[in-house]
Amino acid sequence: MLDQLLNLAEGPLEEMLAGMNQPDPKSSASALKESVLSSLQKQVASGDLDGVKEMFSGQETAPSSPIVNQLKGNVTEGLMEKLGISKEQALSIAAAALPMILNFFNKRVNDAPQDNQDIMSSVLASLQGNSGKVNPTELLGSLMGGSKNGGGMDLGGLMDLGKGLFN
């Protein structure tokens, strides 16, 4: 699910990276999306849903916000590994991209026909499943595209709700 949502930000990411003089903005955007997704997945696996919540909060995310700082380290490492760039370059890209990505979704939440609180409630309900608690294993399966055994949470309803976000 998150990978599909991040694909929606591909164009703006490529534009941002071109403005940062990245030699291949398309492959850099792909590496950036993979690194952001990996960082969010690590956060969710540890039971921390702050990054996912922030994506759908409808609130402006400042570059100095705690969630940007939490995600920046893993995203920076991923960019260094995938693109073979220096730590300084990777940190610069992560620092610019993370608030841009989070605000990309926040703007769509604000522009959606549903109330922000309805969207956030749906996100949290989907993340928590029937038990009212987040099962990190089920959540990771859902975020990656569904569980193999047909169990786990179905985030399809969330995707249906989100259709209004991306018109």
State pLDDT tens for residues 59-97: 899 999 999 999 999 999 999 999 999 999 999 999 999
Domain spans of the chain, in order of start:
2-166
Token readout for 76 is 């920076």
Mean pLDDT of 124-152: 48
User: Where residue 108 falls among pLDDT bands split at 50, 70, 90?
Assistant: confident
DSSP 57: S
Compute the distance between CA of residue 166 and CA of residue 109 in angstroms, rounded to an integer.
9
146 burial level (CB within 10 Å; 0-12, 13-18, 19+):
middle
Mean pLDDT of 112-129: 56
pTM, to two decimals? 0.71
Q: Which of 31, 30, 24 is nearest to 10 (CA)?
A: 30
Helix, strand, coil fractions of the chain, as percent rounded to 5: 70, 0, 30
